[in-house]
Chains A and B, each alone.
Chain A
Amino acid sequence: MKRLLSLGSLFALALLVASLVFAQDSGQATLQTPTGTHPFTFVQQADQLYVSAHEVTQGLGGTITPDSTGFKITIGNATAAFGPDSRYGVIRDELIEMPVPPITIEGRPFVPWQFFQGFLGTAAAMDVRWDAAAKSLVVSPAQRSAIAVQASVANIQGISKLVLTLSAAGEYTIDSQPGSMLVRFRAPVRAPFTEQSYDDPHVARITFAGSDVRIQLTGANVVGDAYQLQNPPRVVIDFRKGTAPLPGQTVPLTPQPQSHSPGIRTIVIDPGHGGKEVGAVGPNGMLEKDLTLTFARKLAESLSRQIGARVILTRDDDSLVSLDQRTAIANQYQADLFLSVHLNAAVVAHAKGSETYFLSLEASDELARKAAETENASQSDAGSDLKLILWDLAQQAYLDESSRFAQAIQEELNAATSIANRGVKQAPFKVLIGATMPAALVEIGFISNPEEEAKLQTSEFQDSMVAAMTRAIERYKNDYETRIGVIKPAPAASTTAAGSSAPAAAPAPAPQTRMDR
């Protein structure tokens, strides 16, 4: 009997503990929408509030449908889905991240309230918040004046470049203090993070708070030159060592040079990888990042000399530059061409040859684009996330030209060398996505192949590949400028792979092989 009582006590204690962990609160709450209020059932477990998916969906005028893998919720023309045990839902091709997976209670799904925050934020530009005191889930139109901001920092040739990419143009001021800088927007800011530290010689930390972006510098002697760019709107601050600013000094904004004559004037060459991102490693230890820098430097020098273009490298040393920043540099300089230089690797040792890529139109990208267009048509001032989606698809407007550019590169590489032709291909390369100009990525050869690894290191081979890429760019330049009427076609001029003769082009700016400011 005692034993039974003891077991019973233990069971009761276990249930007591369970009750403290689970099912701490439940009851009725109110869904507040712009059109009315609706009751729904909630359950609170520890810090997490779950809401009845059926009742909230119905309150929002939607429908919920079960299937073998979970549930679909349709509100208006948007459908989201969530599944068992997954803290990720999906709407179109966007993830809805929840703190914890959904649960069921008496056969009905209860989702973390953040599911509806993600759903309505993405699909309908609505804000959703939980008011614990009032036990209300409040749905309201998103602050349309809010600006979504993305931040990136890269050190290029000793200068740290901070780029704040904005979802919409907005007013702001920049104040400088010794050791810090404050960018204060007039509109509310949707921040990408609260605080982030950087391993950078000038920028130590960036903090978002309200409408403020505070940049903590690595020393009082770091100064910043700020300027703004458009399409998309960006605030760019170049940090370097200099004379410390006076406290509270307002940083003047340097206007963006707007004059941009048609034609291929500025070319950005991007040596793949760098810093701790070594890229592929050859069987004899060659690092992709070192060889791409060698090729890129040679190509920049060749292009400056041969076609007089302004050439900019995204890195000119062994520094780590983020993929977004590489594209941002090309956009910032309003480049007319972007070429990312890489070396390939495969598990098959005999894989060899060169191939050139331009951005692919993935089915999901197409889905996102169509959805964005639909929403853009119905909500001319829709949420700023939508504009970020479109920014993600910036390269799509240049796909035809990127294809021509990639074709020219591949054909010249084929013509110039004995290296195997793997052709022109498409893939969703991150470094190409945001480029607002014709852009391609060339894989010159396979560093994973011992024979090609050795060949890639020889000056003779490097020079022949650089000459081929120079011819390709010159050929594409002449073809493009002829098509847009900048130069008149010369009847006898050759545009074949072997031809370097070119119609007289408009005068090009002075060649540069470094970042100029």
Chain B
Amino acid sequence: MVALMVTVAVAGCRKKDTVSDPAAAANKVAIRSIQLFYGSPNQLLASEPRNVSLPESPAAAIPLVMRELVKGPVGQGSLRILPEDTVVRGAWLLPGGTVIVDLGGPTLSSGWGTGSHQELLAIQSLVQTATTNFADAQRVRILVNGTQTETLGGHVALSRSFAPRSDSVGTR
């Protein structure tokens, strides 16, 4: 009986894996240059280059890039848009170009008191960062704490995904 269960367990452990197997094969980690989008003095977004150690697979790299974004800017003149305590719980790039970003953190969980201008820029900072760094990414769907939440700050509906808006990006 024990032998049978052990056999089953061996089979289970050998067989079980995630669907990321094909991507994992090409998952070489290297320092890569990415663009992160933050606020700028002209009230639009501007990109900030950063070199980050990332796997080659977009599926594996995208959560790391989004987490790099919420660490905040380091460049002169770049301004943090998302609340400082924001965390990226997960990010996934799905076939067809939809990126799902699951945010969390005390401020977003308890209700972010902000204006629509900052809220729209915060959403676009996620969208621009995802779509600029990943060729397959076309739009971003935002969740908060793993659930489909109405808004980030009381204004902009999160019930649909967001495409990049060129009018949200300026030059520094």
| Contact indicator B98/A429 (Cβ below 8 Å) | no
| Contact indicator A278/B113 (Cβ below 8 Å) | yes
Residues of A279-328 contacting chain B, CB below 8 A: 279-281, 288, 323
What class of interface size applies to chain B in its complex with A?
35 or more
| Contact indicator B90/A86 (Cβ below 8 Å) | yes
Q: Which residues of B contact A12 (CB under 8 A)?
A: 2, 6
Say whether chain A's binding surface is mostly helix, strand, loop, or mixed: mixed
CA distance A430 to B111 in the complex (A): 15
CA distance A85 to B59 in the complex (A): 9
How many A-B residue contacts, CB cutoff 8 Å? 211
Q: Which residues of A contact B136 (CB under 8 A)?
A: 68-69
| Contact indicator A66/B6 (Cβ below 8 Å) | no
Residues of A11-25 contacting chain B, CB below 8 A: 12, 15-16, 18-19, 22-23
| Contact indicator B9/A16 (Cβ below 8 Å) | yes
Per-residue CB contact flags for chain A residues 348-376 toward chain B (1 = under 8 Å, else 0) read: 10010000010000111100100000000
Q: Which residues of B contact A381 (CB under 8 A)?
A: none
CA distance A333 to B79 in the complex (A): 43
Q: Which residues of A contact B162 (CB under 8 A)?
A: 362, 364
| Contact indicator A23/B118 (Cβ below 8 Å) | no
Which among A225-233, A246-254, A337-345, A462-470 touches the partner chain? A337-345
Q: Which residues of A contact B156 (CB under 8 A)?
A: 427-430
> A460 interface residue, CB < 8 Å from B?
no
| Contact indicator A104/B95 (Cβ below 8 Å) | no
Which of A65, A72, A109, A351 has most B Cβ within 10 Å? A351
Which of A69, A365, A431 is in CB contact (< 8 Å) with B23? A69
Q: Which residues of B contact A19 (CB under 8 A)?
A: 5-6, 8-9, 12
Which of A69, A103, A104 has most B Cβ within 10 Å? A69
Which among A89-97, A123-131, A164-172, A484-492 touches the partner chain? A89-97
Per-residue CB contact flags for chain A residues 270-283 toward chain B (1 = under 8 Å, else 0) read: 00110011111100
> A102 interface residue, CB < 8 Å from B?
yes
> A132 interface residue, CB < 8 Å from B?
no
Q: A22-B13, A106-B15 are in contact. List 5 more A-B contacts (CB 8 A).
A: A23-B11, A83-B19, A104-B16, A279-B115, A362-B160
Please list 17 pairs of residues, one from A and one from B, whose beta carbons are closer than 8 Å in the complex, sorted by A's number: A15-B13, A16-B9, A23-B12, A68-B59, A69-B23, A71-B95, A89-B94, A102-B19, A103-B17, A105-B16, A277-B113, A278-B113, A346-B117, A351-B117, A392-B159, A443-B116, A448-B115
